[in-house]
Structure 1
Amino acid sequence: MAPAVPADAPTAAAVARRFRCRCRRHSSTTTTITSWAAAVAVLCLAVAVSVAPRGAEAIDVSFNPCILSPCGIHTCKFLGSNSYNCTCLPGYTNLSPTQCVDIDECAGRTRICGPGGDTCTNLNGTYSCTCKPGYKYNTATKYCDDINECNASPGICGDALKHNCTNTPGGYACSCKKGYADTVTNVLTGAHTCKDINECALGACASNGTYTCSNTEGAHYCNCKTGYQSGPPITNASLLLNDCLDVNECSLSPYTCRYPDGRPETKCINYSGSFTCNCTAGYKTVDEGSAVSKVCKDIDECSEWEDKVCLTGTPHWPIPKCNNTIGSYKCNCVKGYTEALVNGYKTCVDVDECALGACGNGSASCTNKPGSYECKCKAGYTFDGITCKDKNECMEKPGRCGTGGVCVNKNGTYSCACNATYVSVSTGRNGPTCTKDICGILKPCGLGKCKNVPYDKNTCKCKTYPPGYDGVKQDTEKYTAADKVQWCVDNTCATFGTNTTTHPCKWGKCFNVRSPLGYDTYDCECKESQNLVRKVVGVKPYCEQINIIGSGVGGGGVIVG
């Protein structure tokens, strides 16, 4: 097309007077001179009017082939210098820059109409599809769309209460709804229908919370016990089996758990078919006659658990073996037993007094017995019925340390605090006592060993000398009974030898003694036919033969000294 003529453009006559057009001849062989002349006139006018500035003398212009619509129905674009190209409409393609040809969309594209397409027909600039059964042609998308028969024809499968319709590509499928089973009604024709399923016979409502199961057309319902409610259906293949489910009473209001003494409410605990309260130990949950309220009540363990609590070590009737308390109970245990938990129940168990040190430090051994114990005490201790207690030897036997000291009691023993000139000595099993320090004061054993012994006595272990000088112990009981002192004296008897003629004791017995005057000597024990002679003090004793003068056999006689 020629450019639009501006409103203030000069007229054709004015242009002719002022411009001279020198138009080149078009090279097209299809244009006649007549059409060319007309085209030149129009072209020159249009170009002159649109592009020639006022005052110009002349201008050379090129021919615009698009004026002749060389692209037909397609878009022609002038490129200058007598050239152009064609922009093809959809459905066409450029055979060359200046020529558009139709595209055969059907060729080599088997799926162009979609999976539901049957045949494809090519058209100028487009195509059309013939669809398979169950599909319809969409002119906007040029695609064979699936027909949803279930929506297009409600009830196509039959009774909508029993049947399901499922759309499929190019068709649809019929099935029975849950609660119904596909049943053949005519074997010859293949006719079938959907028949109700008796879910109750198949185990619906089988929980412990169910009273009965009732079958209905295509369904069923459960008659639930108190504390249960009908739950959502459970899908099982082609069935929907219902059941009774526990009601969580604790999540509902106003379920309560309280104490009768006004303490704050305790925790509610749900369980299958009901609920209970989290009562503290010693309490149990009981109903108050209300389905929504329960109370924590004290347990009388002595009565309710009689065969389990306080079984041993309890007093005999009429004293109760068990006392109930608020929230607990107590066992009345006899002496030697104590309360303890055994297998979760309180009872009386034997006290191991030995493990508790009942006999004390003074015990040699402790033997535990049911409800009691036995102590064996060490020496110096006595059992007082409870423990081994120190025996006060000083009070038990006054004067235990004699007249020469004071008795001092100690744990398990005693000691003697002796006065001056006395020493403490052992009496053996009877313990120590105070005796005179004979060894220290009198030194009676000379060069021998002296030992103080109880009750103001001593013993000597005399030193042995060569023959004739051997020290020996004197016969204390017989010869020194007056001072009870044992001495070591010279062996005077050994100096006399064995000659009876010269021996002062003759045929009697000679004893080494210490005389009351304090010097060493001897003494004789004469035979019956001899007489012991001590004539004056300081003179050694000797045995003298007694002469008997008689008158014959059976006659009298006189003893002559």
Structure 2
Amino acid sequence: ISPQTCTEGFAYDRRARQCIDVDECRTLPDACRGDMRCVNQNGGYLPEIPADPEPPSYPRVRTTAQCILGYTPAEDGTCNDIDECETNSHHCNPTQVCINTAGGYTCSCTEGYWLIGGQCQDIDECRYGYCQQLCANVPGSYSCSCNPGFILNTDSRTCQDVDECADEPCTHACFNTYGSFMCNCDEGFELAADGTSCIDLDECSFSEFLCQHRCVNTPGSFSCVCPLGYYVFEDGRSCEDINECDTGNNTCTTAQVCFNFQGGHTCLDPLQCHSPYIEVSDNQCMCSAENPACRDKPFTILYRHMDLSSGRSVPADIFQMQATTRYPGAFYIFQIKSGNEGREFYMRQTSNVSATLVLSRPIKGPREVVLDLEMVTVNNVINFRGSSIIRLTIFVSEHPF
């Protein structure tokens, strides 16, 4: 403000740096004539006539106050601010907002916009990371959202993890993770394709060697079963033979002998020697050399029994045979006399007085094989030739164990 800008009735005060009212009553000589009293006004002065019972009629002098730009004179002679925004006398851009100030106005933008080149343009809040996760910009504002597995906090900007396990989405166990969850299944089950339910594992399909005999799948596990005549061993997988002769769980009479084999048993009747043989022990029949009917017959028949697992691997030594009485100058020949029609066996001489019965081909059971193993004694010194028989009954089990 300079002295030239002050309107009439005002003078520039350099100390205050503003226009102040001039007191014309003090500065003007004879401002009011006669007995009129001078009354200073803002921007002028007025003569005041003294009170009189019959006041003479004098014209009143009124000076209109002059206001600076942005103000307008009021009825009481003061200056009131002009609201350019209200009177629509501003020059703000249509995209702008008018804000009235003392003696003027300013043009601004609403929240969510900023002034660029005289125009209000939308602020892209998403560009400046207003949202923690997902952000959608809208004119003058923005909207935050969260990824699956999260929910928006009350501040409408940040996200917090959802504990999906609270809703028990898993069939078995549930583990909450950041933004998601994982399901786990109990032992013996596997996670289905839906990722939440558990289905039973068929352990029996993993291997045919899981059980020695037969595998039975159960929910979350499996069990091994054994055929009749066996029980499941302590390892839960192997089959062990039940010795019916020891447990008493058999149908043999007191006159019979119970013989146990793998997976079963049999009742052996008392030995009956057929003529011309006579019984010399519980398991041996003899034909006396003095009896003419015994000529060309084996001197003795010894009865033996054994068991054999079905499909046993070969070759296998299964029975030992040897001479019990030795004569000077004698030698012995061992051979299978009968019962080997399938050629599953052969005799291997292990010394001059012994031989071994060898299984050369696997035998499938259940089957009962009767072999006559002959030992021929030859003594050329006394011109003697005789033989004895071991009648070996082999009980082949139904199963390979």
TM-score (norm 2): 0.33
- Larger Rg over CA atoms: 1
More RCO (CA 8 Å, sep 6+): 2
Larger helix proportion, structure 1 or 2?
1
TM-score (norm 1): 0.26
